[in-house]
Amino acid sequence: MKDLFINRKYVIMALVVVASLALLIRLFFIQVVDKSYRLSADNNVLRYVTQYPARGLIYDRNGNLMVYNQAAYDLMVVPAQTTKIDTAEFCELLGITNDIFRERIKAAYNYSRRAPSVFLKQLSAETYARFQEKMFLYPGFYVQPRTLRKYTKPVAAHLLGYVSEVEESIIKREPYYKAGDYVGKSGIEESYEKELRGKRGIKIYLVDVYSRIKGSYADGRFDTVAVQGSDIITGIDVDLQEYGENLMRNKTGSIVAIEPKTGEVLALVSTPNYDPGLLVGRIRSENYAKLNADTMLPLFNRALMAFYPPGSTFKPINGLIGLQEKVITTSTQFGCNNGYLFVGCHSHSSPLTLVYAISNSCNSYFCQTFRRVLENPDYPTVSEAFNKWKEYLNEFGFGIKLGTDFVNDLPGYIPSVGYYDKYYGSNKWRALTVISLAIGQGEISTTPLQMANMAAAIANRGYYYSPHVVKTISNSGGINPKFETKHIINIDSANFEQIILGMEEAVNGGAGSTARIAALKDIIVCGKTGTAQNPHGKDHSVFIAFAPKDDPKIAIAVYVENAGFGATYAAPVASLMIEKYLKGKVTNKYQEQRILELNLINR
């Protein structure tokens, strides 16, 4: 028994020795080997300064700088390190009131006594320079360098988007962000946020009791380097964009121009618009509130989000479907006696074949074509024929999202069989019930981007690339492969040639051609006018086009709200844009001056 007791004593002593050795080794490791514990203990004399990377630059397709960065400074505060100061002098240096001072100090204490928080955002370089000279008088305060976006020209606000402080919902969703960070909102800034933002770094400094920096901690071994964001080259032609915005000044509407061979967006104009510089810096919140309250809706991107009936610009699509479904041929003629049944039409020669029905914009021709499409005996019911018609429209990108790199790209609206069944009853509606769809009216709605894409698909004789604004991204493998994928439309290319002849005749033909105002010397423009009905006022002026005919380099859609016929204003705007892009200058100075001086808002 005694031996057992002695053995147990030695076992317990051995365990104590082993445990003591383990603790000693651990303490040695913590205090001597592993510096991170010391780093944590020394937090009260260390300052962690986030190194915000320079946001990526944005260029146009020709290498012209559009968006760059300018230095700004956030004034930070660590409440536990502050002392009694001359608040009057402090406030005078920063241009703030005593009330603001007390409010910000209280907010900082509520956030944390020992952790730094932003006291005053985005000091200008001038204010920073004044404050820096006397910063030693204000322990607990220091400056955090930041950057603000700047613009070489006050254009393309809807395209570029803006940058603002990150919201709590984003912080919860994206662990990368923390309070006080900035994030892209709308446009390119939002779509390509991950590429543009770069990667944060951090510097750790030793500071004295007066919050003055005494040097880097541990010779910078714990510092990390900020990585600059990737630069972006867009497909935008900034000169064309600026020209389009000038043409649309004092008008409501939009312009979308696309390069057919690539799907790159050359210009995207939405008016009324605003100077992107208004949403930068400390004035951003105030200006955003004013813009948001403006009844003209300058923040609303009409090019992507406004739904319009396409009007007569839709007739080429119904012509293509009629040819593909073999319910008409290139020689099919229809007469027109100022309309078809209850759908009116303007006076023109009659009867007409397809080419001249397009150039003269004959409502009767396309009503009869559409009726044949829906009453095609190859389909057992009108509903099945309608579904086939809708399938073609989806292939053109109508009624669906185009898969662009815009965050607010909307699908428009193409009615379904179910929609009409709900209102008229199953199998109780016919082609004449929905005949307004023949001329781009009725329940159909499209966006200007979709109409420009349609013009590009026709220019390409049956395919398109998803419209996209970015051309290349630095330090990456290029753009998303989906933007290099053809969307094939199941319509024979030969059928497109007939439609293109009609669009050529519309611009370059003789009497009766509806778009002769858009004709250009030495450039064959193919186009189609439209007048989109507007239940809230005067009709919208619409025009789609592409040029040159045999080697298309630009496809365009123009909407001018409450402006009447397509040939009145939309067609000349498109013509000026086409010539500006293809020639670099405009020869029809009279037409240019007429459009520039036109004011459709204050009339």
Q: Which tens digit of pLDDT belongs to each residue from 120-137?
A: 988 888 888 888 888 889
For residue 121, the model assigns a pLDDT of 86
pLDDT tens for residues 528-573?
999 887 777 788 999 999 999 999 999 999 999 998 888 899 999 9
**Burial class for 331, CB neighbours closer than 10 Å (0-12, 13-18, 19+):** exposed
Q: For residue 136, what are the CA distances in angstroms to 115, 119, 122, 331, 592?
A: 19, 16, 20, 88, 60
**pLDDT for the residue 5:** 54
Task: Give yes or no for residue 211 having a pLDDT over 80.
Answer: no
Q: Does pLDDT of 318 surpass 90?
A: yes
Mean pLDDT of all residues in 32-57 = 68
- Kindly report the pTM of this predicted structure: 0.87
Closest CA to 316 of 498, 140, 472: 498
Sign, CA dihedral 278-279-285-290, equals positive
C-alpha–C-alpha distance, residues 327 and 321, integer Å:
9
| 138 HSE (CA, 13 A, CB side) | 22
In degrees, to the nearest 5, what angle opens at C-alpha 450 toward C-alphas 448 and 452? 70
Lowest mean pLDDT among 67-71, 235-239, 367-371: 67-71
Domain ranges of the chain: 46-77+86-234, 238-274+300-597
Q: What is the pLDDT of residue 295?
A: 93
pLDDT of residue 340: 87
Q: Is the pLDDT of residue 597 over 80?
A: yes
The CATH number of the domain covering residues in 46-77+86-234: 3.90.1310.10
Q: Which two tokens stand for residue 160?
A: 């570029």
User: Tokens for 290?
Assistant: 């004013």
Which DSSP category does 80 fall into?
Answer: G
| Res. 42: pLDDT tops 60 | no
Residue 256 in 3-state DSSP?
Answer: strand
Q: What is the mean pLDDT of the chain?
A: 90
| pLDDT score recorded for residue 55 | 94
Strongest mean pLDDT among 19-28, 45-54, 277-286, 552-561: 552-561
The pLDDT tens digits for 379-425 are 999 999 999 999 999 999 999 999 999 988 899 999 999 999 999 99
What is the rounded distance in angstroms from the CA atom of residue 37 to the CA atom of residue 49?
Answer: 19
Q: Pick from 444, 445, 449: which is nearest to 405 by CA?
A: 449
Centroid of chain to Cα 600 = 26
Q: Residues 501-536: pLDDT tens digits? A: 999 999 999 888 899 999 999 999 999 999 887 777
Mean of pLDDT values over 311-320: 96
* Pairing mode of beta strands 58-59, 232-234: parallel
Alpha helices, DSSP H only, in 29-144? 36-41, 87-94, 98-111, 125-133
Q: Give the pLDDT score at 41.
A: 45
Q: What is the distance between the alpha carbons of residues 115 and 151, in angstroms, rounded to a whole number?
A: 34
Per-residue pLDDT averaged across 203-226, rounded? Answer: 81
Mean pLDDT of 141-165: 92
Reduced to 3 states, what is the DSSP secondary structure of residue 107?
A: helix
* Residue 37 in this model has a pLDDT that exceeds 80: no
Tell me: pLDDT of 484 over 60.
yes
40 pLDDT exceeds 50?
no
Task: Tell me which CATH homologous superfamily contains domain 238-274+300-597.
Answer: DD-peptidase/beta-lactamase superfamily (3.40.710.10)
Q: Is residue 288 a contact partner of residue 279, using CB atoms and an 8 Å limit?
A: yes
| Band of residue 30 on the pLDDT scale cut at 50, 70, 90 | low
Given a contact cutoff of 8 angstroms between Cβ atoms, the answer to whether 556 and 303 are in contact is no
Q: What is the pLDDT of residue 80?
A: 86
pLDDT reading at 256 higher than 90: yes
| Residue whose tokens read 């002849």 | 501
